[in-house]
Amino acid sequence: METILEKKIRELDEVAKRNEAKPARPLRPGQSSLHDIIRTPEQAERFMRLMKFAAENPPNS
């Protein structure tokens, strides 16, 4: 007879087999990830300059 733990293990194995969990929530329509925006080294450099500027010039400073 199947124990409670064996049942839990069987259920988890079945869930895992379906492989439905996404490692990250998918983006909503209209949302972009940085990965989509930054595709070239030049874009990455520009992004880093912007981030540095934003860090050095916080709002209300």
Partner 1 sequence: MAVPVILNFDTSYKVEKATDDLKNGFFTTELQEGGKESLKIEISKNPHELMPGVYNLGFGPVTEDGRINDKAELPHRDYSKVFSTILFLGYRYMVKNPDHMLGIDGSDNRRAVLYFRMLQRNYDYLDNYFEIFGLKYYVRMTRFGKRQYDNPFDFADVLPSPEKIIKNMRIRLEWLYNYFIFKLK
Interface residues for partner 1 in 12-51 (CB under 8 A)? 12-13, 15-25
Number of residues that bind partner 1 (CB under 8 A): 18
Give min distance, CB of 61 to partner 1, in A: 27
In whole angstroms, give the CA distance from residue 51 to residue 43: 12
Give min distance, CB of 8 to partner 1, in A: 6
Q: Which residues bind partner 1 (CB under 8 A)?
A: 4-5, 8-9, 11-13, 15-25
